[in-house]
Structure 1
């Protein structure tokens, strides 16, 4: 009997011990770390559920509001959401922010309630003029705000973008672009920040910090995550045509193309990275493990997710021809480190079946799903998945955001020419001013009348359009002598002519994979624009050009004939109002060119920081040099640079030096100036750039005021990729230039000693 009791007590003890062991951690427990919650959830998912967390579809396949504003889902979407989903692109993009917030709450609730584990989805937008959705504040495009040379301004813009996107129920944006754009044939030029590595790095890091609320805004529900794109070299497509190959040296890739992405990861802590459509050294970016794992994750320590560009994993097979089959393409993308398949109905949809034949694939799938789930936990979506409806109308398009859009415009417009100081015009000029040309908008005259003063009057006429405005493949319109004559008739009876010229959203746009074109074989202004300005100038009228465009244009005729040119790229919704303020002198222009303006497409490739040896020869029958250099921009005042000082003529790998200059406003107008510092390596073991921007500061100066502006020169600024393809510091002589553009400034010398 004693033996039997002993056995019983032993069994009871074991049972008690077993019951007292800690249970499986609950991924819903907010007290756990994010990694603990991810590891608690991941093993619960079936292979089909895991793969669902690696796919994003577009809302246009069947997510919409019915006539009463209620959520309406297509059968296709209902089927997709049974297993959960990584995310949905652009839900509710065409309705008001309040209606979008309500619909996205409904959509999120449906998703959570209709997958086994209640996993929320990421709702994804883009941001080229602010949030790309109805009813949000419309800012200028990225290359426009880059012309401000004001990183803190860019940070504030993207802070608004992050807030307005989150308020309407979004969580991520496939922006900003960290690409370097140097070919104006490329239709997507205005989506990026310009030709220079340093300028782009400053703008992109500030954009990411802004949209993510300095990272703190992610979990507290006030901001969204950034997806920096397109990694890497996308802006370097051959011929400037979308989807073309990329031919770029490894040295240029490391020294010039990588840095904005590296800073996006290390400094700005971007949540996502999008891979590039293109290839590097013949290796498709979506199938390049050395790029997406070796560089991005192993070297830079990126912990976020990598998303494909639209359908690009499948295209490894059917377009790029580097995979033998759709299944091979899926495995190639997965092995390379692409975590999310954007849009495709093929590619990662094959993974569950592939795992049956190759169970080891699931280890790669688990890595990808971890990154996606981690992002959702960082964003706080498991604990607070819904929008606070009461905040939407108070916070979206609030007055401070609209004023910021206007402020950004005023700091971004570039004064390219101002002969005889024709600008600014007097508000009390008692003049008849003609607002003419294809880029005149419906509200242009209203915008000018709000600024004009009491005596000036306006007459407005568009005259002609640049294209037939077909969204897919726009066509140039035939010559219209009647429209041209109508414009000239108005010009004859006017005292001043303001011509609105350049390009628009139809002459520069994304060339989609199927059908649509957006790149150009020439960069001259299209249509009758050159003839219009020539004939207006023949009338002897003072002629001011308001230049609007989304790609760099070779504006030779405009530059020759115009008395003044204000270059606005693509401004905010208040662009014409801002132009009127500048024309009438309410503020002085302070923008600087974020690109080099060539005289001819035949000069391409053509950027200020090219190797010095490229400047040896020009072309027959063409004036040498750019039409306008990088960093150029005039003001309504003049600035004098003097007293360049270098704290030490020698720098070592362990020291820094300071370079300073005095800048004086020598005119009678308060204005801002962008003080720019360039460095040149005089002798290198490999051919080196002609010069490189390494610092800038925008300052305000009253008439007669002098300010001293200082820059630190650090060893890091002097690093480059040497003969053995390793980052090095090389002893030798350097020139520093501080000035008003890449071609004008005071120069000094220093030496790097080892």
Structure 2
């Protein structure tokens, strides 16, 4: 650290304690008063400069550091940004331990509070895709793994840990979870979301928001956890060509029925404290300047009371990139009037607001609305009463044994057994005594974990062989693999009784794509490099092949599916992934994950989610096999399950009644195992073309060998409601099919009729 770069050290900055005056007697300082009253009082005391400061977030990389002797050091740039206060700071202390981060954030918050004329604290913001995105916190599997587990309560528990660990290191909000429906595996950010299905994503999002916010129910305080900023509102995962920042073309009906529900659930059921707008547009209207989206739908229709934050620099991009504003100032006004309240990172957008509002007082109501929502969040998080972290709690709570075991459990629940020819898995150490661990996704810890899992008498050899890319973070390049490397791997497999191949993709082959700094989307979904060749050459030896598939996007694994005897689909597991895979291969527990996506045979089938309209399935393609490689909801077990015939409580219902559908499920195998029973509903005839089927319920159960459990689902009118011809919620009479089974393709059907006059108004 140089004196020239960082001139402001805490000891210098802190010699200016402003008088905390008699502020304790002011209404906004009174925790007994309603939040809205406190917000109104504080707003009335703020200058325009102080208000605008509460509408901006900058990144800690602007110059916030913690020296080796635990002294906070601020750059002149940061000191200037904090002159009038700040809405928040992104990722302070992300690269240091939780305890040191807590110390830094306490000092940083103290500086901000005591320098502020009105003692307004800041929000410290993180990301939390698979745990707090910071050093020393528990690392879970990716969100797509959580969806693959099909366990709502487990997901809530994981996010509860995330919320606690984040708060203990001094954070207050996270730009997570993602409520985007992702149906295009070309899109590099696929694993950050929860799959292709609206209902599954909605239930998981509500669980995630509820967990990370500590069960905050819309009233009272949230002082032990952080607030969720659910993103990206709306339609972000539907970018054309799977290309980040591309246009988004979605019909209004699809938007309302399929894309909105996870966000609506986050707002109305999860009480999310924040929403982040989408990078993209909606049918030509930029999301960051869309008053119908941000104000009419989000606030007026759904009752959202939190704050709305831009995605990175996206307000200024209304001019620079979206080309819908003539200037940055025009972009500011468009965004502000539409409902955009916090400018994330940019120095080209809301920085202009003070001057603009002085010239046009008509902007003040929009500024006050925005600042009010930011202040409300700070009051709810208890930051005015106690903005600091209890350092004594950090070591006891962060990465405690229960959290680490939860990461392991999520891994166990999320791994999907796609194929298991002749019940090859779990492996028997007496039958396969020499195992070759091979492939580009082989982790250095794998051999040690497999030795522990297999026990004595089994020997392992391992060879990664090659990397998929040169592993450059910006724009990685594929590695050309010398045939000699492949031959060495084949020779190693030749000396073994069985080979386990670690294949798929990694963080370099599927990631967020930026403008110039990096690429992450792909125009192919085939496995990259020579992985298919490796599988074929090793399988040609005539020995069993197990594939451990790791990836962050859906891959068209045709060759792998054909050649491998068994496939464990792991997506992107936690820090304990190798341990869990090894134990699962040797039967410590049975796989119970189910696919949260449809696996296509080829990119040419896209879009190919299971819930497409029925008319999309009427014709096949020339020279291609029919259907998906693996269907949505698919997942095998080491055990076997028998479903009885589903029973329905009646064959007719109306808009004021409900039906119950039940089924008996029996474990007919030799292993204790879990099964996810899935409920799908099909509207046989609709006034608009309807999906072939839609997931409407699921329940994960655990069965001992020979045990039977009864699983029941309730059919409600709300399940049958859709956006009708008049673009309003509609409940139509007619025939419905209810499908209960183990996947979207393997189920049994019962039927009922909804009675009533045509176009029953939905409640």
Q: How do residues 219-368 of structure 1 correspond to structure 2 at under 5 angstroms?
A: 219=221, 221-368=223-370
Which residue is 1:176 aligned to? 177
Residue by residue over 1:155-213, the C-alpha shift from the partner in whole angstroms, topping out at 9 and shown as x without a partner, is 00000000000010000000000000000000000000000000000100000000000
Residue by residue over 1:14-47, the C-alpha shift from the partner in whole angstroms, topping out at 9 and shown as x without a partner, is xxxxxxxxx9943112222211111111121111
Structure 1 stretch 636-645 or stretch 27-36: which is displaced more? 27-36
TM-score (norm 1): 0.96
Q: Tell whether the 8 Å contact from 1:266 to 1:300 is kept in structure 2 after alignment.
A: yes
Which residue is 2:209 aligned to? 208
CA distance in 2, matches of 1:220, 1:313: 30
**Is residue 567 from structure 1 mapped to residue 574 from structure 2 by the alignment?**
no
Which of 731, 735, 738 aligns to 2:737? It is: 735
Which residue is 1:167 aligned to? 168
CA distance in 2, matches of 1:457, 1:355: 73
Distance 1:561 1:218, change over 3 A: farther
SS at match of 1:658: strand
SS at match of 1:83: coil
- Residue 429 of structure 1: how far off its partner (Å): 4.3
**Is residue 123 from structure 1 mapped to residue 147 from structure 2 by the alignment?**
no
CA distance in 1, matches of 2:434, 2:745: 38
**Is residue 513 from structure 1 mapped to residue 501 from structure 2 by the alignment?**
no
**Is residue 89 from structure 1 mapped to residue 90 from structure 2 by the alignment?**
yes
**Is residue 57 from structure 1 mapped to residue 58 from structure 2 by the alignment?**
yes
CA distance in 2, matches of 1:171, 1:219: 13
- Residue 115 of structure 1: how far off its partner (Å): 1.7
- Residue 753 of structure 1: how far off its partner (Å): 0.6
- Size of the alignment, in residue pairs? 732
SS at match of 1:524: coil
Q: Tell whether the 8 Å contact from 1:429 to 1:456 is kept in structure 2 after alignment.
A: no
Which residue is 2:746 aligned to? 744
- Residue 106 of structure 1: how far off its partner (Å): 0.8
Which residue is 1:399 aligned to? 401
Q: Tell whether the 8 Å contact from 1:218 to 1:224 is kept in structure 2 after alignment.
A: no
Which residue is 1:672 aligned to? 674
Q: How do residues 482-501 of structure 1 correspond to structure 2 at under 5 angstroms?
A: 482-501=484-503
CA distance in 1, matches of 2:696, 2:755: 20
CA distance in 1, matches of 2:32, 2:748: 58
- Residue 388 of structure 1: how far off its partner (Å): 0.5
Distance 1:218 1:95, change over 3 A: farther
Distance 1:365 1:220, change over 3 A: closer
Residue by residue over 1:101-146, the C-alpha shift from the partner in whole angstroms, topping out at 9 and shown as x without a partner, is 1111111111111121111100000111111111100000000111
Residue by residue over 1:264-323, the C-alpha shift from the partner in whole angstroms, topping out at 9 and shown as x without a partner, is 000010000000011112110000001000000000000000000000000011110111
SS at match of 1:328: helix
SS at match of 1:260: helix
Larger Rg: 1
Q: Tell whether the 8 Å contact from 2:666 to 2:706 is kept in structure 1 after alignment.
A: yes
CA distance in 2, matches of 1:161, 1:54: 26
Moved over 6 A (4+): none
Q: Tell whether the 8 Å contact from 2:432 to 2:498 is kept in structure 1 after alignment.
A: no
- Residue 428 of structure 1: how far off its partner (Å): 4.4
Residue by residue over 1:441-478, the C-alpha shift from the partner in whole angstroms, topping out at 9 and shown as x without a partner, is 11111221221111111111100000000101000011
Q: How do residues 403-422 of structure 1 correspond to structure 2 at under 5 angstroms?
A: 403-422=405-424
CA distance in 1, matches of 2:458, 2:659: 54
Which residue is 1:437 aligned to? 439
- Residue 340 of structure 1: how far off its partner (Å): 0.3
- Residue 427 of structure 1: how far off its partner (Å): 3.9
Residue by residue over 1:373-426, the C-alpha shift from the partner in whole angstroms, topping out at 9 and shown as x without a partner, is 000000000100000001111111110100010011000000000001100002
**Is residue 113 from structure 1 mapped to residue 122 from structure 2 by the alignment?**
no
CA distance in 1, matches of 2:79, 2:97: 24
Distance 1:723 1:365, change over 3 A: same
Q: Tell whether the 8 Å contact from 2:446 to 2:582 is kept in structure 1 after alignment.
A: no
SS at match of 2:405: helix
CA distance in 2, matches of 1:85, 1:427: 61
Which residue is 1:133 aligned to? 134
Which residue is 2:14 aligned to? none
Structure 1 stretch 257-266 or stretch 33-42: which is displaced more? 33-42
Structural RMSD (CA): 1.2
CA distance in 2, matches of 1:563, 1:342: 49
Which residue is 1:551 aligned to? 553
Q: Tell whether the 8 Å contact from 1:218 to 1:379 is kept in structure 2 after alignment.
A: no
Q: Tell whether the 8 Å contact from 2:440 to 2:464 is kept in structure 1 after alignment.
A: yes
- Residue 514 of structure 1: how far off its partner (Å): 3.1
Which residue is 1:38 aligned to? 39
- Residue 219 of structure 1: how far off its partner (Å): 3.1
CA distance in 1, matches of 2:268, 2:696: 19
CA distance in 2, matches of 1:351, 1:24: 31
Unaligned runs of 5+ in 1: 1-22
Q: Tell whether the 8 Å contact from 1:451 to 1:581 is kept in structure 2 after alignment.
A: yes
Distance 1:346 1:605, change over 3 A: same
Residue by residue over 1:552-595, the C-alpha shift from the partner in whole angstroms, topping out at 9 and shown as x without a partner, is 00000000000000000000000111111110011110000000
SS at match of 1:568: strand
CA distance in 1, matches of 2:459, 2:78: 56
Which residue is 1:11 aligned to? none
Which residue is 2:3 aligned to? none
Which residue is 2:703 aligned to? 701
**Is residue 186 from structure 1 mapped to residue 197 from structure 2 by the alignment?**
no
Structure 1 stretch 129-138 or stretch 592-601: which is displaced more? 129-138
CA distance in 1, matches of 2:700, 2:615: 31
- Residue 745 of structure 1: how far off its partner (Å): 0.8
SS at match of 2:548: strand
**Is residue 628 from structure 1 mapped to residue 616 from structure 2 by the alignment?**
no
CA distance in 2, matches of 1:495, 1:78: 65
Q: Tell whether the 8 Å contact from 2:214 to 2:222 is kept in structure 1 after alignment.
A: no
CA distance in 2, matches of 1:332, 1:492: 66
Unaligned runs of 5+ in 2: 1-23, 757-763
CA distance in 2, matches of 1:430, 1:154: 36
